[in-house]
Amino acid sequence: MNVKLNPFFAALLLLISALPAGAFELEALNLAGLPAVEIPVPPAEDRPAPKEWTVLIYVSARNNLGLEAIKDVNEMEAAGSTGKVNVVVEMGRIVTAPPFNPFSSVQEPAPPQADWTGSRRFLMVKDADPLKINSPVLAHFPDADMGDWKHLAEFIAWGKAAYPARKYMLIVGGHGSGWRGVKPPPGAAKGISYDEPSGHHISPAELAAAIKAGGGVNVYASDACLMQTVEVIYDLKDSAEYVVGSQETTPGSGYNYEVFLKALAAGPSDSFSAAQSIMKGFSEFYYGTQKMSVTMSIVRPSAAPELARLMDKFARLVLASPADMALYHEKKWGLRNFEDEDARDLYQLMKLYFDNSPTPAVREAAKEVIVFLSEKFILRNDALGHKSKDANGVSVFFPLFYMNYKPKYEYLTFSQTTHWDEMVKAVVDSKR
């Protein structure tokens, strides 16, 4: 466990801990200058009456997802805002040409409105046009950095002020890489909300800071790959009631927003039902209509500190047991991996130790993690299709080989709180 906290995050945590619950004091986080183009928020007396939900969707397609993002926004328009739900969107993009198909004599044309860059904000208005975005543009930022957490924080705060609701949902879409978005100096290669022109991304700690600066949300979801990891969720422990995400890579087209938003508008208003609506627009949609293997889960982030405590207990016991350190190398080939080859399914990893450890205390510690995951942490897990076997809802870093260990892992809040990083490094180094 690293006791020395990165000075940037130490200052950041001090600032956000001083904010009153539910507040978004952007000036305290040096956000007063964002955005570059002023967006008027109606005076309180002129704002619409609160709806049941405001869904804030922040999509970074300033990368190779530019065409998919336009399709996603058209899906949002197919559902539209309703008397119950505001759908507020910021989409950033760069020009992306349709891929060349060598087997077709007629190439796919670019959809209408695919030639603009920067980012735009919309309040989704329902329409039946599947190609053209007809919702009015509320603001246009010629060069907004979608990989800047402060821009995300401002979007959350602005959306909640302009379109009030009883409950809020935030979806961040784009490319994702789970915990690997951590930023030790001088920075990592990528993370969620990857912005190609700037080369920036939003780290797990910055994502949590942005949500907290915006006053928190009831449901947070990643429409991105590989984000449902213990390390990311630990940073989000104070950010939402529920966190939705995938252990595995996701299709480039992401959620089916029409299915999801219609389910949200038609369903009960509680937060867990809202999280389940996302599952309808992803796992149920892709597996039910296209028979694609997918993973998606709903977890309770407030339980992450207790999960971390149990994992710390397990890690300390393994560190003290050479036989248990060797056990990983003896049995690791039976563990599934994901597109991130060094991500292990936490439940399956603990089951390996519960079934095979020669140490009673290690077996008991593994059992405690298994029971906690099943009863308190993972509330729904969709591991659908033959490729999703043994995906039980949440992943954790445990590389196969010592050369795959990344020192930047030690900068995560989760690593600074537990001995998991020390255990992982010791186990993989023991097989040099």
- 22 torsion bin: left (phi>0), alpha (psi -120 to 50), beta (else): left
> 65-114, pLDDT tens digit by residue?
656 777 888 899 999 999 999 999 998 877 777 777 777 777 777 777 66
> 363-392, pLDDT tens digit by residue?
999 999 999 999 999 999 999 998 899 999
- 295, 246 contact by CB (below 8 A): yes
For residues 208-227, give the mean pLDDT. Answer: 91
Q: Does domain 8-302 have CATH number 3.40.50.11970?
A: yes
**Rounded distance, CA 247 to CA 226, Å?**
5
* Angstrom distances, CA of residue 13 to CA of 159, 202, 206: 23, 16, 10
Least confident stretch, 10-14, 217-221, 312-316: 10-14
Which pLDDT score is estimated for 35?
39
Read off the pLDDT band of 133 (50, 70, 90). confident
Q: 171 exposed, middle or buried (CB, 10 Å; 0-12, 13-18, 19+)?
A: buried
pTM of the model: 0.84
Domain positions in the chain are 8-302, 304-429
More confident residue, 294 or 201: 294
Which pLDDT score is estimated for 23?
34
Q: How many residues does the chain have?
A: 432
Q: What is the DSSP code (8-state) at residue 111?
A: P
End-to-end CA distance of the chain: 22
Sheet holding 165-173, edge to edge: 137-141, 118-123, 85-93, 51-61, 165-173, 219-223, 242-245, 294-299, 378-384
Distance of CA 125 to the CA centre of its chain: 26
